[in-house]
Amino acid sequence: MNKKARRLALNSIITLKAKAGELMGIQDITIHAPKTKDAQEILKNI
């Protein structure tokens, strides 16, 4: 799959999810250390 087609497909999916209300934005998260365990805990609590 070429880059242009991949980008268009990604944009299409994001647009569909946003219109369906299935897209969530996250802002102002402070991560003290780049650890997967910490990131999982933050995402689980959302």
pLDDT in tens, 26-45: 888 888 888 999 889 888 98
pLDDT over 90 at 25, yes or no: no
- DSSP E strands: which ranges in the chain? none
Say if residue 13's pLDDT is above 90.
yes
Residue 46 neighbours by CB under 8 Å, 6+ apart: 24, 26
Mean pLDDT on 5-33: 92
Q: Closest by alpha carbon to 16, among 28, 6, 8, 27?
A: 8
Question: Which pLDDT score is estimated for 21?
Answer: 94
For 4, half-sphere exposure in the C-beta direction (CA atoms, 13 angstrom radius) is 0
Query: Could you give phi then psi for residue 12, rounded to 5 degrees?
Result: -65, -45
- Answer whether 0.75 is exceeded by the pTM: no
